Structure 1
Amino acid sequence: MAKRMIRNITLVLLMVFICIMGVQLHEGLLSHFWSPQSSNHLSQHGLHHYDLEARFVEKDNTLQVIQRTTYFNKHSKDFETIYFHLYPNAYGDKENLPFPSDEMEFAYPKGFEPGNIEIKNVKVQGKQVKYDVEGQQKTILKIDLPEVLKSQGEVTLYFEYEVKIPPSASRFGYGETTYNLGNWYPVAAVYDDEGWNLDPYYAIGDPFYSEVSNYKVSLTLPKEYQLATTGDIVNTQKTKGQKKEKTWTVQANGVRDFAWVMSKDFKILRDKAGDTDIHVYYGENQQGKKALEVAKDSIDIFNKSFGIYPYKQFSVVASDFYIGGMEYPNLVYIDKNVFAMDTTLMLEYIIAHETAHQWWYGIVGNNQVKEPWIDEALTEYSTILYFREKYGEEIGMRVFKTMVVDDYTRIKDKLPGKKEIIARSVDEFKDNREYSGLVYSKGAIMFYQLEKEIGKENMLSILQYYMGENQFTNVQGKDIKSITKAVTGKDYQKFFERWLGK
């Protein structure tokens, strides 16, 4: 997610940014395409598979959904119980919403109304089973299995449920022009060395942790709507017996989440970065052409810097989304107000950031609750790398000072006598301002300082090695440290401890 920069950056800072960026744009670098199915790191056996059939009922802003999930137990432990996250329920109670209280007017510009997910039926292998909805926000679905799920075994779960979409300009909700459907379905909780990860939907950061899976999704919508989505749209057809509806079939293999946005007002621009299709969805009087150019340049630059983007399409969507930007596989939300600004410079920064997340979160995943610095610090560093590659070192370093160093300095001055620990869970930060200044900005400075010590060529070798070894998996902070040592031949443990605070 982009730092809450639209609300937090002063007019003076924005004007400085505008002044330093008075340069002409140029074409990006060539890239090449490969399929995730061709990678040795992505075996189709062993992935969870989601088959979703959803129908949008416009008059009451609900989704009627049938979901079949084939869950694979890749662990050495047998399971008697498995868990799913029900993130929409975090929108049901005004006292436990996933927003800071001082942002409520932006999250709900027309006032609060609840959203939720109501589970109506759960079966396992065709049998009715006992289940419970737990947690303070009711965001955990606990399912008792009728038989023990052995290690390396799989089980098919069947769900029927209704999703109520709230009037929220956020990851999950609707506004004046778009419906944003992020984190909208029951998603399997991750089991790792620490056990089941059942964290609530915190108001700080991106409190998600998921595994790469395969998706087949059928979305039945009123025919007036256009769809932007994770994955590839493989078919559209009129819904049988319904003249006013259209059904979209989407296939998404090897992705760690599935999100979509729909609108009656979308204009669409298209281009390619190598063999990757770039789509920009935008509205009237918005900077669609600029967004398309930045998306293309971002994919090109990161292809060269990190390794090839392994999916067929990437979509940038102007959304009713107040926070700035949000990443999902193959799809990013960008605040429609940023699309409409007279200057396109903030639009460029946010799109570059969210595109970098396609590598650091999308391709190489991590626990964004416990170790958010892994993807966010590296993504912010990558955003500056984009500007350096595109505009040259002088301009790139001015952007670095303005958007990163100065941001960190402002929060540092407000933390007298307090350790500036980056390596902590999202729930250990006081607020989003502290989280942003340390995890994003100080974290990006850390990676730049590492680059200064080892050289840019070695830094890019580390990132290419890091992606190549870990694509489609989840990593921990220790993996970055070990790869740094493998590439440089030097132990940088103390360097990371000094910067991260642990």
Structure 2
Amino acid sequence: MKPIQRWSIIISSIILLITALLFYYFNATKPTGSEEEEELQPLNLEKLPSLQIDLHAHYQLEATLLPQERLIVGTAIITFDLPPTSEVHFYSYAYEWQPMQIQKVTQQGKEKEKSIPFTYDKRTIQIQTKDLQQEDGRSSLTIAFKTPIPAGGTRMGVKDSIWLLTNWHPQLGVLDQQYLWKERPRPRGFGDPFYYSRGDYEVLFHAPAGYHWVVSGMEEEEKQQQDQQVTWSWKGKELHNFALVGSPHFIMEDVRMEDGTVIRFAASDPTHLAQLKAIGIAAYQVYTTEFGQLSTKHFGVIETGSGTNYAIEHPNLAIVSRDMYAYDLIQHWLPHEIAHWWWYNNLSTWEIEHGWVDEGLAEFSVYLYTKQMFGEEQGHQLLKEYQDGHQRLMQLFPNGHLDQGLHSFSSHEQFDYTWYDGGAMLFFNLRERIGEEEFLHFLQRLTKEYAGMYVDARHLDEALSEVLHGKVNYFQKNVAQANHHHFVDPDWETEPGILFAPGSEILHQPKAFTDHAYAKNGQLYLPLRPLLELTGAEVNWHGEDGYVELRDVLIDEGELSDTSDTKRNSTRLITVTIPLDGNVVTLKENEVESTFTIPMKACNRNGTLYLPVQFYETIYNWEIDWLKGENQLIIGGDI
């Protein structure tokens, strides 16, 4: 997370609370002329695989929290698909200055438990595959561990009696599509230096009575108390890891949303709890409306102490420190962390390599929240902050690029401007170029079709191509180019089919048209000769003189007279001269000449001349409806 204070929204808590609760209540490159065009490439119907191999991990964790010793003692039974590699890797993300202790690794044999040899360097547990038994391609290990919990404001630690237990258990390593284990990253001091692999969890957690917990997996929750010890039972599916936040001082409230989702809010102060609820409910409503619903139905919003984690995301959890209330920073960073429920928990990436994906999308999400809650002016102000940050990135770090990894940044400042401001502006630029409707369709497609996947720029271009019905290379180009370049606009082509509306004078019922329309970067073109010859128009090619001439007779329907049911129609003889290398069209109608401008020049595709759709709308008053979801045109009107 980026610990930089944004002074974007300063508003009183009372007005904020009323506004948010009211919201919840009411809402529970250039075109060519005659030169040859590159053929449209068909979309690749086979979806790109996730960045990493899914080993279908299942965790059975049983652990005991010993508060006096600041220690977790536990076992992890990890079952997984055994890969065709010489080793299997497990990660420890505990701090190397206070490392996780691996006591033993065992595997249950046919008759008895056997010890498994391993190496451990405080970061990675490595086990030889040949030492493991497997059944039906799956293997299971038991790892006994002890995890010290630092005392202080760390991302895993205890302060003010609030236990922030994030990466407290051993985790199966990450295997890329080349069956190579990703090296467990070293901490950087900022950002999220982690590789995660998804897994299903069953957790038994023993802790002193009186603690209240918010955890990553609350699909099933049970509590059993014996004397002063409580055993908690939780289950969660498809989680990066299993995080817990608990305190004897927490005040908690579960809020059930209209879609059945339950959000658990926890804070040590009732006033803060009310503010967490107001923001959390409103942000969830905005994001669900814009991006779509999530399959996960249990989430948590937690306040930790001052001088701790600032703001971080963990599976299904949005965690903010008490410092966020200063300057109303909570209005930015809590919606940001909630956005990660969509952009990191649902749609995942290797944050350490491609952090612009989830951080850029989360910042764009905050813009939507801000605009919805506080109006266009506040939304524009936040957008201006992103623009300013992106400009500073271009000036201060011109040779970097958006897709550079966490460990390649020279400073926190470069990291901040790159992934947050630069990442946000990459999505804003796309939205401006393709329009709000198509952009939201793109985000909704990511939410639905790429759920559970780890993605990079290629996957985003794939999703965008499906939405625009044409091969697009937008994200790959822009994240690879140097920062001093301006964003390259999306470049795509598609060929919509053509249908005619019922009742038209060309065809009296919808029927597929042999020729297709053509669209490039959102500009629609229709074939001239194949289409207009159906109307009886005469199309004459004068290629050597650089123009095409169109002759047609248009019939204007008259009105009924007072004495007759017969309409008097009038006719107009038109001659249209269309330049092959220009966009000023000459119209001669009953010997009266005029000109008008079409937005783009005619283009020649495979020997057929195409004109912008605005030509047909102007000359023939056609009503043309582009059904982008079906990639079809419906032509109606005065045909």
TM superposition score normalised by structure 2: 0.65
User: Across the two proteins, how many residue pairs are aligned to each other?
Assistant: 444
After superposition, the C-alpha distances for 1:148-183 in whole angstroms (9 at most, x for unaligned) are: 678971111101111111123122111123111111
Q: Is residue 304 of structure 1 aligned with residue 310 of structure 2?
A: no
Structure 1 equivalent of residue 419 of structure 2 = 439
Structure 1 equivalent of residue 562 of structure 2 = none
Structure 2 equivalent of residue 17 of structure 1 = 9
CA distance in 2, matches of 1:314, 1:295: 10
Pick aligned residue for 2:433 from 448, 453, 468: 453
How far has the Cα of 1:58 moved from its partner?
A: 1.5
Note if contact 1:173-1:181 (Cα within 8 Å) is conserved in structure 2. Answer: yes
CA distance in 1, matches of 2:475, 2:343: 21
Matches within 5 A, 1:55-134: 55-73=64-82, 78-88=84-94, 91-93=95-97, 115-125=98-108, 126-134=113-121
SS at 2:448 equivalent: helix
How far has the Cα of 1:222 moved from its partner?
A: 0.8
Q: Is residue 27 of structure 1 aligned with residue 23 of structure 2?
A: yes
How far has the Cα of 1:53 moved from its partner?
A: 0.6
Structure 2 equivalent of residue 324 of structure 1 = 310
Pick aligned residue for 2:168 from 181, 184, 188: 184
Structure 2 equivalent of residue 501 of structure 1 = 481
Structure 1 range deviating more: 358-367 or 266-275: 266-275
TM superposition score normalised by structure 1: 0.82
How far has the Cα of 1:486 moved from its partner?
A: 1.7
After superposition, the C-alpha distances for 1:80-133 in whole angstroms (9 at most, x for unaligned) are: 320011111xx233xxxxxxxxxxxxxxxxxxxxx2210111013432111001
Note if contact 1:387-1:396 (Cα within 8 Å) is conserved in structure 2. Answer: yes
Please, what is the CA RMSD of the aligned residues? 2.6
Structure 1 equivalent of residue 241 of structure 2 = 257
SS at 1:372 equivalent: helix
**In 2 relative to 1, CA 349–458 (structure 1 residues): closer, same or farther, beyond 3 Å?**
same
CA distance in 1, matches of 2:371, 2:473: 27
Pick aligned residue for 2:264 from 275, 279, 297: 279
CA distance in 2, matches of 1:151, 1:377: 43
Note if contact 2:185-2:195 (Cα within 8 Å) is conserved in structure 1. Answer: no
How far has the Cα of 1:435 moved from its partner?
A: 0.6
CA distance in 2, matches of 1:72, 1:379: 33
CA distance in 2, matches of 1:373, 1:66: 35
Q: Is residue 482 of structure 1 aligned with residue 456 of structure 2?
A: no
Pick aligned residue for 1:161 from 140, 145, 149: 145
SS at 1:287 equivalent: helix
SS at 1:119 equivalent: strand
CA distance in 2, matches of 1:83, 1:60: 29
Matches within 5 A, 1:461-476: 461-476=441-456
Pick aligned residue for 1:228 from 206, 214, 218: 214
Structure 1 equivalent of residue 125 of structure 2 = 141
How far has the Cα of 1:307 moved from its partner?
A: 1.8
Larger Rg, first or second structure (1 or 2): 2
Unaligned runs of 5+ in 1: 32-40, 94-114
Higher relative CO (Cα under 8 Å, sequence separation at least 6) belongs to 1
Structure 2 equivalent of residue 108 of structure 1 = none
Note if contact 1:20-1:399 (Cα within 8 Å) is conserved in structure 2. Answer: no
How far has the Cα of 1:352 moved from its partner?
A: 0.6
Matches within 5 A, 1:327-406: 327-339=313-325, 341=326, 345-402=328-385, 404-406=386-388
Note if contact 1:230-1:329 (Cα within 8 Å) is conserved in structure 2. Answer: yes
**In 2 relative to 1, CA 301–219 (structure 1 residues): closer, same or farther, beyond 3 Å?**
same
One-letter amino acid of the counterpart of residue 250, structure 1 = W
Structure 1 equivalent of residue 62 of structure 2 = 53
Structure 2 equivalent of residue 4 of structure 1 = 3
Note if contact 1:371-1:424 (Cα within 8 Å) is conserved in structure 2. Answer: yes
CA distance in 1, matches of 2:215, 2:134: 34
Unaligned runs of 5+ in 2: 29-49, 483-639
Structure 1 equivalent of residue 156 of structure 2 = 172
Note if contact 1:225-1:263 (Cα within 8 Å) is conserved in structure 2. Answer: yes
After superposition, the C-alpha distances for 1:417-460 in whole angstroms (9 at most, x for unaligned) are: x3241111111111222111111111101100100000111011
One-letter amino acid of the counterpart of residue 72, structure 1 = D
Query: Which has the larger helix fraction?
Result: 1
